[in-house]
Structure 1
Amino acid sequence: MNLIIDIGNTFTKVAITEGYEVAFIDRFEVLSIERLEDILKKFSPSKGIVSAVGRKDDAFFERLKQYLPIIELDNNTLLPITNQYKTPETLGRDRIAVAVAANYLYPSDDLLVIDAGTAITYDLITNKAQYIGGAISPGIALRYKSLNQHTANLPLLSGIQSIFMVGTNTVECIESGVLNGVIGEIEYFIDRYKEMYPNIKVVFTGGDANFFVNKLKNSIFVVQNLVIIGLNRILEFNAKH
């Protein structure tokens, strides 16, 4: 069994995988070493990987290394895909992970991976296992927050409630602008990528992914826990090399 720790912008996810199956997963706003020790005692993983998009608690992970071998994903970690990003040291760990996962799941396809979370990321992986790059834009919650913080009277919305084309009050107008704006942006990116790669497969993941399933004209494949799948793949790849 493997221990997978994904430290994101909002939550920390902890997963246990057996082979390439996710046997356990949970998320925490704050992950204590005591809670992690409980998970380790229950599942007894033999190795692990940590991915952090921001700063991590070094003392916490030094203690974790007392329990099992741990690798930390960075731009020097061996990958099962070729990274052609011009500044690999600045590439988000979560973007690396979803690219690896998508290529593992669909190795014969050109892929556009859209991760709809705190930020919306777009990542291109060719059918030759080459990671090219993509785009980053604000996620739904960030757009709501920006309108609230940078205007005088607009309320802060949270979550995804309803979607209107013509809002008849301020809340509906914000929802219309933000949600229809995100949908339009995503459709635009998919259409442009299809011009470059006509047979491209679109893979969706992230906390807001399910919202888009029936709202896009383009066909998409929603895959939950894509970051976890990718981190597990990277861990197994490094164990063999």
Structure 2
Amino acid sequence: MASLPHERHLLIDKGNSYAKVAVVDDGVFSPEVAFVEQLTPETLAPLCRVAPGGRLFTVYSSVGEPQLFAPAYLQEQSYYFLQIDAETESPLRALHYERAQLGADRLALAVGALAFTEKDTDVLVIDIGTAITYEWVSSTGEYLGGNISPGPRTRSRALHMATALLPEVELTSDAPEMGSNTHDAILGGIAWGIGYEIEGYIRHLQSKKPRLKVILTGGYATYFADKVKNVTFVVPDLVLRGLDRLLEYNAQNHK
């Protein structure tokens, strides 16, 4: 049986359907990410355990329906608890965006991108999930803004709901350049359309910032990783890493 950590960072990113949960034990980021549908005492209690005299630091981010139980329980269990909201302080030097309208997940992505910035090297983070978000972070640590467009499943569902006969299609296989049936035509239209959209953003920003780094993240990142040119890194857990950076930053300022 593994020994309990003396200091644990509990990272919770609650989306619309489930929560992604990860831990950092005594400074070591665990590669295992749990997908939890319901945040209950039964699911949370094992994650809150630390060694006798140890300390639990928790960060909670939610973009789905509010769940009043989880924050209250986590705050009770934690030495330090941070719930991401419009007032949360961040290590970003400036935000060129309406702060109250910047979702917790997008803030975490921008903060996570700071680890990849270098002199004269901006970072573009592309998160491909229910929505596709584009977050631009400067080499000096400023959030320069971002865009939002529909993700793969959202595009497929919109086609299905707005037409009489078109089926809903999942991106589970490589898409042909041109479909020979309706399923493949939708698959190709969505996959290639998103790929060209992403490459267009990359080309445009690289014309301004030739040393631009591009990071893919989100549930569909691995699907598009070998389909999009000029991607620097694929970091599926960038939101969680950004949440950990926010937790450390605010906990230090709290002392």
TM-score w.r.t. structure 2 length? 0.89
Q: Which runs of 5+ in 1 are unaligned?
A: none
- Superimposed CA distance per residue, residues 127-154 of structure 1 (whole angstroms, 9 cap, x where no aligned partner): 0000011110000010110111001001
Shift, 1:158, TM fit: 2.1
Is the aligned partner of 1:16 residue 2:16? no
Structure-2 change in CA distance of 1:74 and 1:24 (3 Å): same
* Partner residue, 2:215: 203
Q: What amino acid does structure 2 have at the position aligned with 1:54?
A: G
Is the aligned partner of 1:183 residue 2:191? no
Q: What amino acid does structure 2 have at the position aligned with 1:104?
A: A
Is the aligned partner of 1:63 residue 2:73? yes
Give the aligned CA root-mean-square deviation in angstroms: 1.7
Contact 2:58 2:74 in 1 (8 A): no
Is the aligned partner of 1:94 residue 2:105? yes
Contact 1:3 1:45 in 2 (8 A): no
Is the aligned partner of 1:6 residue 2:18? no
1:34 to 28, 39, 42: 42
Question: Percent identical across equivalent pairs?
Answer: 35
- Paired residues for 1:167-178 under 5 Å: 167-178=179-190
Shift, 1:23, TM fit: 5.9
Shift, 1:45, TM fit: 5.3
Structure-2 change in CA distance of 1:90 and 1:5 (3 Å): same
Distance across 2 between alignment mates of 1:83 and 1:10:
31
Is the aligned partner of 1:50 residue 2:60? yes
SS at match of 1:46: strand
Structure-2 change in CA distance of 1:198 and 1:23 (3 Å): closer
How many residues are matched?
A: 241
SS at match of 1:162: coil
Q: Which runs of 5+ in 2 are unaligned?
A: 1-7
2:161 to 149, 169, 177: 149
TM-score w.r.t. structure 1 length? 0.94
SS at match of 2:30: strand
